[in-house]
Amino acid sequence: MRIPSPKTLRRESRKVVLLVPHGHNSLMAKAEQKISLWTEQLRRMREMQYAYHKKFFHGLYFFLVLVIGCLLWDSPVSLALVPLLVITAGTQSCFYLHFVDFARLHARHIETHFNKALGKDTLVGSEVEDLYFYPIDAPKIGGFVPSVPLRFFSFFTLHWVMLWLGLAAFALWRLLPMMGVCGKHYLILLGFWATLNFIYLAWFFGKARDRHAMESFLKISS
């Protein structure tokens, strides 16, 4: 959704401040300054959101190329790296997603300021994102949202999870016969590392403690 230009928002702000007696020019100047600052903050948050979306997809493709390269090399070392790269790809994707969530939350807070000052439906970008992508307040694991599992965002997440698991399983199928007795120890370490990452991501996105702390701070600072 396109952000209104500073000129448009200042024009709307004048409609509000014109209700104030003419002698209060400082109130008008202060209102215009607030509108200008909110507009700049909103622009920065939307740019941040776009930037980390790009990083997310670039990261997926980068790890996919690495994994395919390791599979084609087909040595014990390269095959052993594949499951580790898969785990790292998942965690890295979630890392980018938590930046996107930050930008969306902050943008929603700024839009609330605009709507209070200029009218309830002046900016509805955050509401549309909740309806079309995924509700920002809903618990999730990475990009999968259990409350809306049929949203394309959840399906996209499952698609990549299945692809990564398939590539890791193929690597293990090729690797384990080469490792002999060491394969058991490798699987134990790999299972521990994968479980640790999954538990942390499920806890971070499920409990959303940082998101709640951020929202509380924004409400207090308003």
Whether the Cβ atoms of residue 32 and residue 131 lie closer than 8 Å to each other: no
Of 134, 136, 137, 145, whose CA–CA distance to 202 is shortest?
A: 145
What confidence score (pLDDT) does residue 86 get? 98
Residue 37 included in any domain: yes
What confidence score (pLDDT) does residue 31 get? 72
The number of domains in the chain is 1
For the chain, count helices (H), then strands (E): 7, 0
Q: From residue 132, give the alpha-carbon distance in Å to each of 4, 115, 125.
A: 21, 21, 10
What confidence score (pLDDT) does residue 134 get? 92
Residue 96 included in any domain: yes
Q: pTM for the complete prediction?
A: 0.82
Residue 141 included in any domain: yes
- pLDDT per residue, tens digit, the chain (222 aa), is 455 555 555 555 555 444 445 545 676 777 788 888 889 999 999 999 999 999 999 999 999 999 999 999 999 999 999 999 999 999 999 999 999 999 999 999 999 988 888 887 888 999 999 999 999 999 999 899 999 999 999 999 999 999 999 999 999 999 999 998 899 999 999 999 999 999 999 999 989 999 999 999 988 887
What confidence score (pLDDT) does residue 220 get? 87
Residue 193 included in any domain: yes
Residue 70 included in any domain: yes
Residue 1 included in any domain: no
Q: Which structural domain range is residue 59 located in?
A: 6-19+26-221
Residue 66 included in any domain: yes
Residue 139 included in any domain: yes
Whether the Cβ atoms of residue 86 and residue 164 lie closer than 8 Å to each other: yes
Q: What is the dihedral of CA 10, 15, 17, 22, to 10 degrees?
A: 110
What confidence score (pLDDT) does residue 23 get? 47
